[in-house]
Structure 1
Amino acid sequence: MPVQQATFPPHALRRPGLIAAAAAAALACPAWAQEGPRGWSVQPSVSLQQTVTNNARLEQDGRSDAITQVTPGVRVSGRSGRVQGSLDYQLDLIQYARESDRSTTHNRLSADAGAELVDQHLFLDASASISQQTISAFGRQNAGTGLVDSNSTEVATATVSPTFKARLAGLVDVGARATWTTSRAEDSTAGDYTDWDASVDLGARHGLFGWGLAGLRSSSRFQDGGRYITDIGVATLSVFPTSRFSLFVRGGRERTDALGTGTRYSSSSGGGLTWLPTPRTRLTLETDERYFGRSHSVSVSHRFRRVALTYSDTRGVTGDNADALGPLRALYGQIYAACMQQFGNAALCTQVSRLALGLDPTVPLTFLNSAPSLQRAQALSLGFSGVRNSASLVVTSTENRRLGEQQYIGGDLALVPSVRQLALTLGGVHQMTRQTSLGLSASLLKTLDEESQPGTEQRRLELSMTSTLGPRTQGTLAVRRVWFDSETSPYQESAIVGTLNYRF
């Protein structure tokens, strides 16, 4: 039988502009540090993954296939003077044995950089990411790596943010910040937007009391929608009874056209507190009466000797930092950093971190949208870390609703007034030997019924074994089973996945 040559569709490699822009934004700061290369490390890597699945198209009557994925990558990280940054980039070259016309490429990028341009006064932060994201919450959900899914697309995001800080007369703190963020989706304009945020604030603390004045302008432009601007002016009074407890109240005025009913002026008021009853416990609470109603942000965390518990609950307009997955992203980063210290392989550590936490919170658990929406997100995580065993339980709930009379040209909110999703994940890792670990993860993702759109439910189970095969080589063997229930596109899938990682 002749060997078939791998072919990749031309469009797969025609997106260098946005990819280069995202990478350049995140590497702008490290690029200035080339004169001091001793503080920087560059580590190329390559991985080979072979997937044998009984349902390559994720259809009700699936067809088996063998999928080969070659992934070259590079990790750059370090610090030089006032500049520090890191970059992980991987290019997935995916080849189907039976259906070579489906072969494609995926880009994966995670980059962060920071620089202190003027000592203690002017700073510059930049970040960029490229990942696969879900187009519709009601569509078919992907089963795992190595599979091409029509309901997911490549989304690239870049952010640049300069910050200025100073102290006037040794008494009043002054700050200014601007943030530019742009996002582009490959196969859907619903995920294309550009945000500009600018803020100026000043304040001071005098003994037990503090005060602050701030002004903020937020501008969002969606490819399929319009442009929305929100202006806020707010005054804050704070009190610090102890070093572990603080309270504040605030009030102000805001102007916005994000409700879709023209320009609206309204008052805003609210308050909050921060309490650290023990060195291992932290509670923060904020709530405000805004133009869309009541917003809130609650975060509770506590660390036992081997167990970490976090809970967060936020409600606000998308883009207003209403992020309940923040604590989970921090935990994911800790697991990833510890793995990189031991193995130094980005591809392996990404897989280990996802398995240990049960999900990858760096990838949004949401859908592409064409206008701002009202979002409530809740997340509860429980993590255990022992000498040879670690486990985590994560429960998340997200609800996105139409904002006011806003018109949604694309995305799920153009079809239904709200989208509700529930997710439950359980993951565990057992260190069998110093070189070998065994991992198990189980997850449930449910999209609830909404009017004319029937919901979906995905259950996923994966067992894997990871072993160090040499000083620079790691291997993973995994088996998975996926059940996806849907009125329109149900499927079941079983697969065996073998991965070999080598870092130079």
Structure 2
Amino acid sequence: MSILVLAMFMAMPAVAQTVTITPRLDTRLTWTDNVDTSDDNPQKDWIAEISPGIGLSRESGRFRGYLNASLRNLVHARKTEDNETYLALDGSGEFEAVEDTVFIALRGSISRTNTSAFSRRGSGDSLSAYKADETRMWSVAPRYQFRFGDAGFGRLGYESRWLAGGSGTLADTRQERWIVSVSDPSALRLFGWGVNLMRIDTSFEKGSNRNVVQEIGRATLFVNIDPQFRMRLIGGYESNDYELSDGEEGSIWGAGFDWYPTERTRLSVSGEDRIFGIGYDVRFRHRMARSTWNFSASRDISSTLDELAGGEILDPVFQLFYMRTDPSLPEAERMRQARAEYERAGGVGIRTNAYFLQRTIGGGVSFVGARNTLSFSIRRAERERLDAFSGFLAGDFSEFEYTDTRAASVTLLHRLTGTSNLNGSITRSNTEGRGINNQDVDRLLLNIGVTRRLSPDTTAGLNYRHTKSTGTDDYSENAISATLGMQF
């Protein structure tokens, strides 16, 4: 947190008028008929929350980014042992240290959400605030970049990432990434070239005392068919010791294309033969006057640290929720709202120290009318634990070798008046785990609520939520929340 705050305030004097500082106070009073997720006997309770916070945004000048922080205080009327106070934080920014040459990217987050995909409450539940579920992530990434020729571009970058979990849930993890990339896609007009080298060193501070390394090198031949269509031929080599104790290595062969038929449509496709089999990355986006369509599919090695360090921003489901936010709001507030919806729609993966082979597919469409916004989204994530990480893991991958999560959601935002909105959502998900034990959980989440702007700086709301989980562990809950939020 200190790094992000320091960088943002150092950048303020240059163009002070571009900085938006929004102190706020969020309050919530919730009644639930099943507060204890560890007990089979439903217990009713009242939970009061008073959370002062601040949002900072800067969208021009040498520093661009946002920081959103709040001190959450949850107080239970009956189950007082579950009272919690903690800092929730999310921030991201980039500082241009030397004009168009040297940049420093910063990222940080502190959150508490269920670390297991098989928990009774789903991810993003506002009442999930146990200390054991806290996850902290920090990232600092300086880079040097340069241009040459008509379209040549080069980059030399380093990134240091840290991941820590609460109460021993996760082993503290440190990741260092080195990247060297040089390309000129249109060097010979019809043909272009590119070279990319990357090395990732990961170390764990407890449990295994083991360091693992991944190295990837690629060379790309670009074939520029026309300004709207470009083909890519890919060759390279990679090695890692994620799967076998003595390492694994092999060649990379692949191809892809980029197609931009209009300013509103883009499609990028890549496929490669790699040491784990076929890897691919497909991204599609199409924007119309009243609708936006997104789709993506990928298969690659990933980790919790990769996802928390900003990978979710590329998810089309996240982009769908972000576009639904009010563009007049500060960036910090837009990101906060989008992430809350993304988590409730099943976008947050499991928390684990393991690297895993992940296959994801997701898509969404949003229809915008004069008074209504209707959105649909689907997402599926299959994760297969790599063998090198068995034996010292906490979380789901300590007992599962494979997990499969499927989720679909429908959301509706209806403008009742100029100052009030009706919003509703239905999310249905299924999660399977296979390994030492097998689990299967179906989850239904229904939300319906009304919000009203009482003044330019004050918003009130009333929300009903129904949660139901069936399968290995059954659970149901009904909750009613009244909210009052003030900005200063």
1:477 paired residue number: 462
Change (3 A) 1:152 1:442: farther
Contact persistence 1:49–1:500 (CA under 8 A):
yes
Select 1:438's aligned residue among 418, 422, 437: 422
The one-letter code matched in structure 2 to 1:35 is P
2:198 paired residue number: 216
Q: In the TM superposition, what is the alpha-carbon distance from 1:393 to its structure 2 partner?
A: 0.9
SS at match of 1:480: strand
The one-letter code matched in structure 2 to 1:448 is E
1:45 paired residue number: 24
1:327 and 2:316 aligned: yes
The one-letter code matched in structure 1 to 2:226 is T
Counterparts of 1:284 and 1:228, CA distance in 2: 31
SS at match of 2:5: helix
Change (3 A) 1:150 1:502: closer
How many residue pairs get matched?
475
Change (3 A) 1:470 1:258: same
2:50 paired residue number: 70
Q: In the TM superposition, what is the alpha-carbon distance from 1:311 to its structure 2 partner?
A: 1.2
Select 2:188's aligned residue among 206, 210, 229: 206
Select 1:54's aligned residue among 33, 39, 49: 33
1:228 paired residue number: 212
Change (3 A) 1:449 1:419: closer
Counterparts of 1:191 and 1:339, CA distance in 2: 40
1:181 paired residue number: 161
Percent of pairs identical after alignment? 24
The one-letter code matched in structure 1 to 2:278 is R
Counterparts of 1:301 and 1:35, CA distance in 2: 38
Q: In the TM superposition, what is the alpha-carbon distance from 1:245 to its structure 2 partner?
A: 0.7
Give TM-score scaled by structure 1 length: 0.87
Contact persistence 2:32–2:477 (CA under 8 A):
yes
Change (3 A) 1:323 1:258: farther
1:307 and 2:275 aligned: no
Counterparts of 1:419 and 1:464, CA distance in 2: 33
2:277 paired residue number: 293
Counterparts of 2:3 and 2:109, CA distance in 1: 10
Deviations 1:282-304 (A, max 9, x none): 11111112222211111122222
2:266 paired residue number: 282
Q: In the TM superposition, what is the alpha-carbon distance from 1:378 to its structure 2 partner?
A: 0.9
Counterparts of 2:54 and 2:345, CA distance in 1: 19
Select 1:456's aligned residue among 435, 441, 455: 441
Q: In the TM superposition, what is the alpha-carbon distance from 1:404 to its structure 2 partner?
A: 4.8
Q: In the TM superposition, what is the alpha-carbon distance from 1:265 to its structure 2 partner?
A: 3.0
- Aligned ranges for residues 234-273 of structure 1 at < 5 Å? 234-273=218-257
Report the more deviating stretch, 311-320 or 447-456.
447-456
Contact persistence 1:370–1:408 (CA under 8 A):
no
The one-letter code matched in structure 2 to 1:278 is T
Counterparts of 2:112 and 2:129, CA distance in 1: 10
Counterparts of 2:433 and 2:64, CA distance in 1: 46
Note the residue ranges of structure 2 that are not aligned, 5 or more in a row.
none
Report the more deviating stretch, 197-206 or 236-245.
197-206
Change (3 A) 1:311 1:169: closer
Q: In the TM superposition, what is the alpha-carbon distance from 1:28 to its structure 2 partner?
A: 4.1
Task: Quote the RMSD (CA, aligned, Å).
Answer: 2.6
2:362 paired residue number: 379
Counterparts of 1:195 and 1:362, CA distance in 2: 28
Counterparts of 1:328 and 1:366, CA distance in 2: 13
Q: In the TM superposition, what is the alpha-carbon distance from 1:171 to its structure 2 partner?
A: 7.9
Contact persistence 1:180–1:197 (CA under 8 A):
yes
SS at match of 2:342: coil
Counterparts of 2:290 and 2:149, CA distance in 1: 47
Q: In the TM superposition, what is the alpha-carbon distance from 1:180 to its structure 2 partner?
A: 1.4
Counterparts of 1:361 and 1:148, CA distance in 2: 12
Q: In the TM superposition, what is the alpha-carbon distance from 1:399 to its structure 2 partner?
A: 0.6
Change (3 A) 1:62 1:313: same
Deviations 1:186-238 (A, max 9, x none): 13443632211111122322212111222211112234443211122222110
- Aligned ranges for residues 84-99 of structure 1 at < 5 Å? 84-99=64-79
The one-letter code matched in structure 2 to 1:393 is F
Change (3 A) 1:33 1:280: closer
Give TM-score scaled by structure 2 length: 0.90
SS at match of 1:57: coil
Change (3 A) 1:239 1:157: same
Contact persistence 1:269–1:289 (CA under 8 A):
yes
Contact persistence 1:193–1:222 (CA under 8 A):
yes
Contact persistence 1:200–1:216 (CA under 8 A):
yes
- Aligned ranges for residues 281-430 of structure 1 at < 5 Å? 281-319=265-303, 326-336=315-325, 338=327, 340=329, 346=333, 350=336, 353=338, 359-360=342-343, 365-404=348-387, 406-410=389-393, 411-430=395-414
1:30 and 2:8 aligned: yes
SS at match of 2:170: helix
- Aligned ranges for residues 130-169 of structure 1 at < 5 Å? 130-142=110-122, 145-148=125-128, 153-167=133-147
Counterparts of 2:61 and 2:415, CA distance in 1: 38
Contact persistence 1:40–1:78 (CA under 8 A):
yes
Q: In the TM superposition, what is the alpha-carbon distance from 1:473 to its structure 2 partner?
A: 0.7
Counterparts of 2:242 and 2:416, CA distance in 1: 54
Contact persistence 1:25–1:127 (CA under 8 A):
no
Report the more deviating stretch, 182-191 or 474-483.
182-191
Report the more deviating stretch, 142-151 or 79-88.
142-151
Counterparts of 1:369 and 1:145, CA distance in 2: 19
Counterparts of 2:333 and 2:84, CA distance in 1: 22
Note the residue ranges of structure 1 that are not aligned, 5 or more in a row.
1-22
Contact persistence 2:113–2:129 (CA under 8 A):
no
